Structure 1
Amino acid sequence: MPRVSRKQADLNREIIVEAATRLFRERGLHGISVVDVMGAAGLTHGGFYGHFESKEALAVEASDRAFEQVAGRWRERIGTAEDHAAARRALVEPYLSTASRDNPGDSCPVVAFAGDMCHESADSALRETFMTGLNRLLDTLSQLMDSDDAASNRQQALVQYSLMVGALTLARATRGDALSDEILEAAKGFLGAVPASPAPR
């Protein structure tokens, strides 16, 4: 059998990471096997260990890729917004859309991976990747708040993003029932009405 070229090997590795990024978001970091990933990539199982030393090593890279994809989309949406309020809407509306609910493989990695993180040790590479990605998104959202107080902006970002994640999770759990759409609409309405910083007393 002819040896695979370096260019082809690099392409195969990229295909594997992309397939894993989608599958992990659809089924969770521990919900798929190497065979599943390689099948989705259209490659043979035996070639996996020529690219990665373990499934966990792939999961770390795929998790990082998922967060970077979302961070990139956030940057694009923010970049076309005319002010902070418009930027927040540009993030919230697609995040809490039916398309986001119905396509987990291309959606929020926080929703996809949070359950798995409950079972990871504090010093695991997977948890470190998750924490880095989560904090990057929270920092981005914090910068879209209108208070002059950084601590207040951070608190607002924590509350709003927690609501976004919780609403999307519940909407997926109730998909097929009218409650699912109701949850998405209620969360979007609430976030659109919430002031970016605490109102003066």
Structure 2
Amino acid sequence: MGCRFAFPAKLKYDKHHMKKAAARSREATHERIVDAAARAIRRSGYDGTSVADLMKEAGLTHGGFYAHFASREAMLAEAADRAGAEAVATSARIAASALPERALQSLLRAYLSKEHVKSPEMGCPVAALGSEMPRQAPEVRRAATRRIKEMIDVVARQSPDWGQPGAHEHALVTAATMVGALVMARAVDDPKLSDALLKAALKHLVPASA
């Protein structure tokens, strides 16, 4: 009678858990790279974000990059998606924490604030990267566009005229004004002008009684 070779039950169990642990570790590493990339693109722009610098910031070696991404463009697409998701989540959280009738005002005041001007790395990626977007790969633009639509939807849902004719157009104008004012406030080297741009946009978008 032949002798069959079989792994001991404990060894099978250990291998199974080793595979699961390896998968979790790889996923955690991937998330760390994407988180670092989402901050880096907002801080330095798409063109200013190199693979070598990004991997160094994530505490990893340059050679490990292609174990996680097929290309630099694939990484930038994930980073754009992550940055957009964070901005949308922050906006929704600010709106949800306010009284319904003051949700839009709270969102606008947070967006058009000095703190936001000074924190591009953690802020709205549209304001930080919008001018670079036309030159990016299709997958990067696709990811960013999806999140921009979500941002507009968040603004629309807080508007008093939500559900009425013209509400979507109103949200488009509001979102465009928010982003444009923030871009200009960051662009100038005159603090007084920067503050004036924010205040003017808020005055236009937020009713005096709010």
Q: Match for 2:49: what amino acid?
A: I
User: In 2, are the aligned partners of 1:63 and 1:129 still within 8 Å (CA)?
Assistant: yes
Q: Structure 1 residues 194, 154: closer, same or farther in 2, change over 3 A? A: farther
Which whole-Å CA distance do the structure 2 matches of 1:148 and 1:163 have between them? Answer: 18
**Which of 26, 34, 44 in structure 1 is aligned with 2:43?**
26
Counterpart among 150, 155, 158 of residue 169 in structure 2:
155
Displacement, 1:17?
Answer: 0.6
Aligned-residue offset at 1:150: 3.9
Aligned AA (2:115): A
Cα deviation code 1:129-155 (max 9, x no counterpart) = 111111111112112222265441111
Partners of 1:64 and 1:133 within 8 A in 2: yes
Cα distance in structure 1, aligned partners of 2:208 and 2:132? 31
- Give the equivalent residue in structure 1 for 2:178: 164
1:192 aligns with 2:209: no
Contact 1:171 1:181 in 2 (8 A): yes
Contact 1:143 1:153 in 2 (8 A): no
- Alignment partners' CA distance in 2, 1:13 and 1:188: 39
Write the letter of the residue equivalent to 1:69. E
* Partner of residue 78, structure 2: 61
* 1:182 maps to which of 196, 199, 205: 196
C-alpha separation between the residues in 1 aligned to 2:136 and 2:167? 29
Match of 1:50 in 2: 67
* Aligned residues of 1:101 and 1:171 also touching (Cα < 8 A): yes
The count of aligned residue pairs is: 189
* The one of 79, 82, 88 aligned to 2:99: 82
| Alignment-derived partner of residue 152 in structure 2 | 138
| TM-score when normalising by structure 1 | 0.86
**Letter paired with 2:139:** A
d(CA) in 2 for partners of 1:80, 1:15:
29
Shift of 1:176: 4.8
Q: After TM superposition, list the pairs within 5 Å mapping 1:7-26 onto structure 2.
A: 7-26=24-43
SS at match of 2:135: coil
TM-score by length of 2: 0.83
Q: Distance in 2 between matches of 1:151 and 1:22?
A: 38
Instruction: Provide the secondary structure at the position in 2 that maps to 1:31.
Output: coil
Shift of 1:15: 1.0
Uncovered stretches (5+) of structure 1, i.e. residues with no partner:
196-201
Gaps of 5+ in 2: 1-20
Provide the residue aligned with 1:93 in structure 2. Answer: 109
